[in-house]
Structure 1
Amino acid sequence: MIEFKKRENEGSILDIAPLVDMVFLLLIFFLLTNSYQKHQVSVALPATKSGQEIRESRKTYTIEIKRNGTLIINGKPATLNDIKKIPTTAEVNVAGDKNISYQTFMKVLDRLQEAGVNNVNLLTIKE
């Protein structure tokens, strides 16, 4: 019979290079997908039967009017005076909570008109 030499147990060696590669690929994937996410409004929009889906351009501003009347422009808290800083060529999407007062809504639209912004969309959800 032939005897084979037994290797002494050197311990298991784990190659971590592929593991590190996968972690970096996952990190890059999540960073890229997170940066291309659309800004979503956090107000309860009113429902309508008619309406069209809008396509956002690069110069789009979203104004959210919360239930308590506070304003958020592109995800940052703002005041009525901050509306005047929006360029006149920009497209503005106004998302008002369905329970806000009509007066609050009209104040925002008045400021947009004073700022010279003519391209205004009112956001709703489809029934």
Structure 2
Amino acid sequence: MQFRRQSSEPVQVNMTPLIDVVFLLLIFFMVTTSFPDQQLNLQLPTASSSEPRETQRDSIFNLALFADGRIQLDDQEISDADALKEYLQTLLEEHTDPAILIRAEQEAPHQRLVMALDIARQLGIQQLRIATRPPH
């Protein structure tokens, strides 16, 4: 007696449910992810005549002077005065009238603030502000 061999169907994996699950996981992670706020945590000095900041301009740059002597210009770490001058020079080439908001900590060396103001004046930057916080 001769038995006929049954033809076996090729094994297939249905990818549709897997794609659905991966897509739902992707949406879940995109919705639940929170991005850290990248504001600087500086202890600004107080001033009784401080005013709230005006509307945001598109070419305003934050120069942070830390108590330990570090300098940071818009998330870019600056090593010394020459590097700050070069960086501000490139900003002047890209933007016609940049504004700089200087945020110096209370304990920041006074020389760093004077140096930043001096470099800005040498380059002809007119829009300079020093950030303070109102008294409590």
Same fold at TM > 0.5? yes
- Count of aligned positions: 109
> CA separation in 1, counterparts of 2:125 and 2:32?
37
Shift of 1:94: 0.3
The percentage of counterpart residues that share the same residue type is 10
| Residue number in structure 2 paired with 1:124 | 132
Structure label with greater radius of gyration: 2
Q: Give, as a single letter, the amino acid of the residue that structure 2 aligns with 1:85.
A: T
1:77 matched to 2:80? The reply is no
The list of structure 1 runs, each at least 4 consecutive aligned residues, that deviate by more than 4 angstroms after superposition, is none
Give the secondary-structure state (helix, strand or coil) at the position aligned to 2:23. helix
For 1:110, the equivalent position in structure 2 comes to 118
Match of 2:91 among 83, 86, 97: 86
The AA in structure 2 aligned to 1:94 is: I
SS of 2:77's equivalent in the other structure is: strand
Letter of the 1:119 partner, please give it. Answer: Q
Aligned equivalents of 2:113, 2:75: Cα separation in 1: 18
Stretch deviating more after TM superposition (112-121 or 53-62): 53-62
**1:92 Cα deviation from its structure 2 partner:** 0.7
Q: CA RMSD in A?
A: 2.7
> Pairwise mapping of residues 1-127 of structure 1 onto structure 2 (< 5 A)?
17=20, 20-21=23-24, 23-24=26-27, 27=30, 30=33, 34=35, 40-54=39-53, 55-78=55-78, 79-80=80-81, 81=85, 82-87=87-92, 89-127=97-135
- Work out which structure has the larger RCO, using CA pairs closer than 8 Å and 6 or more positions apart in sequence: 2
Contact 1:92/1:119 (8 A) holds in 2: yes
Structure 1 residues 28 and 112: alpha-carbon distance in aligned structure 2, compared to 1, 3 A threshold: farther
Q: Which deviates the most, 42-51 or 58-67? A: 42-51
**Residue 49 of structure 1, CA deviation:** 2.3
